[in-house]
């Protein structure tokens, strides 16, 4: 039996203003609904009523939230925006005095809500989020200067496969305010013989099979953005023509002597070191310098930024209403994920289909995935790496082989543990813009 007097004393303690930020209008909460999973919820009204029910329902018109409960757990609460003397924040109050609720493990009849609080109402839980869930935080993670985004400066995005280069290019276009379209071309998907036509277009009869005039991507992207993916795969002849276009905004379609003009903004991406391409004479120096004359953005990979894996998991849970066991969360953070976001997202989508419960545990598929990922990472093509990059790559391979044990790795390759630690926990540095991207 619950002692009401103790509850009153506890209530007075909890009602005292905390040092943490109060939950106000437009704050985000996460409803963990009994047998129904997770629902994101924004507090954009000043008053809500919460009722017990057979199932979950949100009556938008009357601001009523119905939460499922057992027969002996009926409740009726009010969530109202009030002033506590220093700020406006939400107060949760039980309208049936015999039915208290829990906040951060303490039984109360009413309490102001603060970010980070956990409320338990019967078998339902409400988590007051410290930061917005996936979808609202993604824009904040992109640190692209607004003036740069709105300029016509070319942008070079560098990063491994699957880190979100295309997503970032699209977001820069959206931020730019340009009226034209966003056009994406991946140069590695075309044979060298037709790349020029894909970029600049052609006129009828300019080559075998050219039955009609064709507008290329550069003209299609006029007044907008052309995202040229994998610029590292293009030959020197096309580099020369792109260099001329960057300088003048003018170009000639294949087979034509007439110069055309396109006012499109160019964004390039590369998954390999352009510096090494220059050293190996696969890229023109003047083209390399022109690419770097604008803004360069480096996207981090997941294996060097475990916080990105953690954030991806948090966002995935909120979006899909699943819960990962803590051991599984830690397990995923030990994997190298050579394919980065694309690979981890693919694995999670497969697991969504195969899992029978919303609570995920380590499965045989997860163990097989670890063996596959580590082998794939160890067999990664090291061609064109500098000596320093090769050393770091080698250390990381041995590190993952020994299940991320620093001492065993150091002993195996006869270096100090501090050397291993410096490599595997190396942060992205330098003057480049470093960006995190949400999916």
Domain assignments of the chain as residue spans, ordered by start: 4-128, 139-298, 306-434
Whether 224 and 178 have beta carbons less than 8 Å apart is answered as yes
**Tokens in use for 7?**
């509850």
Residue 380: pLDDT over 60: no
Q: Angle, to 10 degrees, between the axis of helix 387-401 and the axis of helix 406-413?
A: 120
* Structure confidence at residue 286 (pLDDT): 94
Measuring CA to CA, how many Å separate 359 from each of 297, 306, 328? 37, 22, 10
* Structure confidence at residue 191 (pLDDT): 79
CA distance 156 to 433: 10
Please tell me whether residue 22 adopts helix, strand or coil conformation: strand
Work out the pLDDT band at 260, boundaries 50, 70, 90: very high
Q: Using alpha carbons only, give the angle 169, 170, 173 rounded to the nearest 5 degrees.
A: 90
Class of CATH domain 139-298: alpha beta
Residue with token string 């924040």: 89
Dihedral angle over CA of 357, 361, 366, 367, nearest 10: -140
CA distance 215 to 222: 11
Residue 241: pLDDT over 80: yes
For 298-356, the pLDDT digits (tens) are 898 888 788 899 999 988 888 887 888 888 988 888 888 888 998 899 899 889 888 88
Which residues are within 8 A (CB) of 228 and not within 5 positions of it... i.e. 6 or more apart?
185, 187, 199, 242, 266, 267, 268, 269
* Structure confidence at residue 229 (pLDDT): 92
Q: What are residue 214's phi and psi, to 5 degrees?
A: -135, 130
**Tokens in use for 252?**
């000639």
Q: What are residue 375's phi and psi, to 5 degrees?
A: -65, -40
Which residues are within 8 A (CB) of 194 and not within 5 positions of it... i.e. 6 or more apart?
none
- Identify the CATH assignment for 4-128 out of 3.10.450.50, 3.30.1050.10, 2.60.200.20, 2.40.40.20: 2.60.200.20
Work out the pLDDT band at 373, boundaries 50, 70, 90: low
Residue 419: pLDDT over 90: no
Measuring CA to CA, how many Å separate 409 from each of 224, 337, 353, 392, 424? 50, 20, 37, 13, 11
Count CB atoms within 10 A of the CB of residue 248: 10
* Structure confidence at residue 389 (pLDDT): 65
Whether 15 and 119 have beta carbons less than 8 Å apart is answered as no
DSSP 8-state assignment for residue 427: P
For 146-203, the pLDDT digits (tens) are 788 888 889 999 998 889 899 899 989 988 888 899 999 998 888 777 889 999 998 8
CA distance 115 to 133: 13
Q: Using alpha carbons only, give the angle 369, 374, 379 rounded to the nearest 5 degrees.
A: 125
Give residue 325's region: left, alpha or beta (phi > 0; psi -120 to 50): beta
Q: What is the mean pLDDT of the chain?
A: 80
CA distance 16 to 112: 8
Percent with pLDDT over 70 in the chain: 82
**Is 234 or 11 the better-scoring residue by pLDDT?**
234
Q: 42 pairs with which residues across the strands?
A: 28
């Amino acid at each position: 039996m619950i002692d009401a007097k103790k509850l009153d004393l506890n209530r007075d303690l909890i009602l005292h203003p905390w040092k943490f930020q109060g939950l106000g209008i437009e704050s985000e909460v996460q409803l963990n609904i009994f047998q129904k999973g997770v629902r994101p919820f924004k507090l954009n009204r000043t008053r809500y009523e919460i009722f017990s029910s057979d199932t979950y329902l949100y009556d938008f018109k009357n601001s009523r939230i119905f939460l499922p409960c057992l027969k002996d757990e009926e409740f009726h609460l009010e969530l109202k925006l009030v002033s506590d003397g220093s700020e406006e924040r939400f107060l949760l109050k039980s309208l049936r005095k015999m039915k208290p609720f829990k906040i951060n493990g303490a039984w109360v009849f009413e309490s102001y809500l603060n970010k980070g609080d956990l409320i338990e109402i019967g078998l339902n839980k409400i988590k007051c989020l410290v930061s917005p869930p996936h979808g609202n935080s993604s824009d904040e993670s992109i640190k692209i200067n607004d003036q740069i985004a709105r300029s016509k400066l070319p942008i070079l995005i560098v990063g491994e496969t699957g880190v979100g280069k295309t997503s970032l290019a699209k977001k820069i276009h959206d931020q730019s305010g340009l009226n034209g379209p966003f056009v994406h071309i991946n140069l590695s998907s075309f044979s060298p013989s037709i790349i020029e036509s894909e970029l600049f277009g052609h006129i009828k009869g300019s080559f075998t099979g050219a039955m009609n005039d064709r507008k290329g991507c550069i003209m299609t992207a006029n007044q907008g953005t052309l995202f040229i993916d994998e610029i590292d795969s293009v030959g020197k002849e096309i580099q020369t023509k792109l260099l001329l276009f960057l300088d003048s905004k003018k170009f000639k379609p294949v087979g034509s002597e007439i110069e055309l003009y396109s006012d499109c903004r160019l964004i390039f991406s590369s998954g390999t070191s352009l510096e090494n391409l220059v050293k190996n004479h696969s890229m023109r120096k003047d083209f390399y310098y022109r690419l770097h004359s604008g803004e360069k953005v480096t996207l981090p990979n997941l294996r060097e930024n475990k916080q990105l894996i953690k954030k991806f998991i948090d966002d995935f849970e909120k979006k899909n209403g699943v819960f990962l066991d803590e051991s599984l969360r830690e397990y995923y953070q030990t994997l190298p994920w050579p394919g980065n976001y694309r690979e981890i997202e693919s694995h999670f989508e497969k697991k969504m289909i195969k899992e029978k419960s919303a609570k995920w545990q380590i499965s045989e598929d997860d163990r097989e995935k670890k063996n596959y990922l580590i082998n794939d990472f160890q067999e990664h093509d090291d061609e064109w790496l500098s000596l320093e990059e090769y050393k770091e790559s080698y250390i990381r391979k041995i590190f993952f082989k020994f299940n991320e044990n620093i001492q065993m790795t150091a002993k195996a390759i006869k270096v100090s543990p501090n050397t291993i630690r410096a490599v595997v926990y190396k942060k992205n540095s330098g003057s480049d813009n470093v960006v995190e991207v949400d999916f």
